Amino acid sequence: MADSAPPNERLTLPTPERVLVMLAHPDDAEFGAGGTIARLAANGSHVVVVVVTDGSQGTDDPDATGDALFNRRQAEQHNAAEILGIAEVHFLGFPDGRIYNNETLREALVRQIRRHRPDLLITHDPTTRIWDEIGMINHPDHRAVGDTTLDAVYPLARDRLSFPQHEAEGLAPHKVLELFLTGSNQPNFAVDISETLEAKIDSIVAHVSQIAEPEQLRTMMTERAKETGERWGMDAAEQFRRLTLWR
């Protein structure tokens, strides 16, 4: 990693035409990649966010119902998307906390890939059981969505005979070119988010139902982005495990 930090070609942000961000919960995109998404969108990429779950478990409020929370979280996600320049947000509505890599989820995620045809796809690193950087158990939905998304990228979305009913609906097979995995214990790529850190934090704070102490969160996210940046010779950064496929 960069000691004297000459401009590092390896750390240049790509300029994909289409980006698909496929993550488990409302706010995962903002926490994991908000600064990067803002940069990609500003550079002209068409960014689509797919939220796999309904986010209906994300509350301590004894009076909250799952349906009301899902509605609220969709509205918050749209506000966050606007701040980052995200073009489209879709909710698949799978039950929060009960996500499994099964045929139903595979079909749904392959459908999203074939529909949005991303060059770059951002998802969770499914190999993270314990998240070393922040000393937390990784949420099982993150692992399941990351795992199923990788199966969807390869080989399922690519092979026309997997879910052949898609072709009749006009959804052709698709090859993703590149992956950025969030929450990875093996980051090999970083994005300088000095210019987009404020937007990232604003987009997280837009998830009002999830953020009890916005000012505390601002401080914490700023510190974390700076710590990550120090590792890569940047003022503030987000890091990923980056995988380039089928060039």
Query: Contact between 25 and Zn ion (CB under 5 A)?
Result: yes
d(CA 72, CA 209): 8
Nearest to 147 by CA among 113, 95, 99: 99
Start-to-end CA span in the chain (Å): 25
**Interaxial angle between packed helices 197-205 and 214-232, expressed in degrees from 0 to 180 and rounded to the nearest 10:** 150
Q: How far is the CB of 25 from Zn ion (least distance, A)?
A: 4
**Interface region with Zn ion, contact rule CB under 5 A, candidates 27-35, 91-99, 156-164, 210-218:** 27-35
Residue at shortest CB range from Zn ion: 25
Nearer to Zn ion, 28 or 202 (CB): 28
Query: Contact between 116 and Zn ion (CB under 5 A)?
Result: no
Give me the 84-103 binding string for Zn ion, x by CB under 5 A, dash otherwise: --------------------
d(CA 103, CA 106): 5
Nearer to Zn ion, 24 or 89 (CB): 24
Q: Which of 19, 20, 28, 126 binds Zn ion (CB under 5 A)?
A: 28
d(CA 33, CA 122): 8
Which helix (DSSP H) or strand (DSSP E) does residue 88 occupy?
Answer: strand 88-94
Q: How many residues bind Zn ion (CB under 5 A)?
A: 3
Nearer to Zn ion, 27 or 119 (CB): 27
Site residues, Zn ion (CB under 5 A)? 24-25, 28
